[in-house]
Structure 1
Amino acid sequence: AWGAVDRALYETALAAGYGWAPDVNAPGATGVSPYPVNSRGGRRVTTNDGYLEPQRENPLLTIRCEATVDRVLLSGRRATGVRYLTGGRVREARADRVVLSAGAVHSPAILQRSGIGPADGLRALGIAPVVDLPVGAGLQDHPLSIIGLPLAEPWAAGADDRYTNVCVRYTSGGPGGQPNDMMFVACNQNVLALARADTGRGAGAILVWVNQVYARGQVVLRSADPTALPFLDQRMLSDVRDLQRLRDGVRTLLELARARPVAELGDGRFDEVNAELLAAVDDDGALDGYLLRTAGDGQHPTSSCRMGDPADPATVVDPGGRVLGTEGLYVADASVLPSCPRSNTNLVSIMVGELTADRLD
């Protein structure tokens, strides 16, 4: 069911001139749209539900739970399996081909622990380089900023309200901006702003994110220990084109938040909850500083093992997903995307997995 923030953003955005696009996935769709949901019985169908559960009894499939992959086992430059930790013990699994699908954070970390990555950085950690590649470089995500909506009791989210159902995609017209390079999102429950506003039942939000990203960061291995998390140097908003568009987007979103019916949802604490933003919003420098301090990410990390032309020095995997300079080693997750798409990454990540599986079959 749509929540109060969904309905309010829908009405306010339409009144402000944004068009209605009933199918957000239709070619050329732009404006106000409902989110399509891959659901069954009111619950999201996860990749585990859709892909793993139906195959659990397959005799050709072995699942190792509560296991952490340390590194890829290599014979020269040919992948022969993986070493992993489970139950406090080190084990190995052997295979003719290895496909990493640990995501844009952990796939590059596994490769680097295996000696595949920036040679100087690996040597500094005591890891012998096998293939010198820009593994971890190029990391991208969607930067976002949140406006808190402390809701009056009648508008508080109920148990049947999804936290978001409505988005507004639009074209900024800013430098470098392509169609639908920006997006507003309604949040009936402020799950994306736990550190920035009330987290109780009456906390809603609207947010803006940069859908087309230019800034790039990196996934940096800090230790050869597989239990040590890598460092994410996101460099969020380090490209002025991203910063300028988020600055403009926040100001536009604030206008929508102050307009009816969004403004009618509040419990009177809007200025208090958003005091830091409101103090900075009229000055470019102050607002940029606020955004650089507080911007979050869409939790859509991509591009840390980029796919591309093998002659391109930024490339890690070839168009077939094979890690350059190796044999029998592939990556199949969002890390191979050349750049962060102007969309959520769930569907495109599934597409990468399905396409890689078809090619390797």
Structure 2
Amino acid sequence: MSATVMDETQFRVGVDSLLKNLLDDKRKNLSNKDVGLLLERLSVFVLGGGKRLRSAFCYWGWQGAGGSGSAEGVIRAAASLELLHAFALLQDDIIDHSATRRGLPAMHRQLAELHQSSHWHGPAADFGIGGAMMLSNLCLVWSSMLLHEASEDAQQIGTLKALHQGTVADATYGEVLELILQSERRYDKCHCMEVVRYKAGRYMFMPALLMGAVLANARPEVFSCYQDFGIAIGDGYQLRDDLLGAFGNPSLTGKPNTDDFREGKPTVLIAEALQRFDGGTLKRAYELYGNPHISPREISELRDLLRTSGAVAAIERLIRECAATGATALTRANLATNAKEEMTSLAQRALQRSC
């Protein structure tokens, strides 16, 4: 039986419909309306934004490996990935003290505002953080649950769950390493790239592609192809994200473009810049970067330093190298032509985006 071909819009509708039904059911089955109020906010967060690139890579990974029959299992796997990402974003915003996400207040900020406007007892910020953490945990649980329902084949389920667990572990390793480097102010390129690999290369698209391959019973060479392709595009995605975090338009990205500066994030961008500075310029960069009270004028000064150092151009070169590595990886397996074209297009969108 040939694969069920959908376009990306149809597949996204299927994923969003499944997520909506799941979240509605969880909320309706609650006896406590107060908890349901928080789940309503979670539903808005999950359904109201996001590029759904993981979903698309999962689907075309399945198609490329010769997936056949109904796409229902792939839709469940893709929805699982979206909930897994929601779990990561909710926690990431807490760690980074982010004010906004997807053009709205970050979840911990929303819940703090709810606490404050309701005149509840205790610190509103603590309620916001605690509530967002618990909602993120629910996303992780439901993500695992959906994946368990993606196939009737026990071996496939075991492989999918192993991928899921490995993805959570890799993202956690990356987050911990980032916290350590940020605390030590250790901005060497090697360690900053290691954060990129854990938090993006092995997290962003590789698991989605491999899950699609699992559900298609793909050949070994397809798994190898997808792993290298997914890592390369995931690395490049994070490098682009670092540029947007420093120079992006918040009205397009939905998040601030000063957080990395204030937090002192160990990005490859800052690592590239610092290795080019010496003397007074290096000292000035360390004075500015990671200063929680940095002024708008000083942010402009730091942006100028990043540009004139050649660091921005260097990151653009690295992104092009990631694109080339990914393109080469796609030639190593006999993939369906239309799927290969779609994955190439998705990679371009991921690496050249402005939001």
Structure richer in strand, relative to its length: 1
TM-score (structure 1 length as normaliser): 0.22
Which has the greater radius of gyration? 1
Structure richer in helix, relative to its length: 2
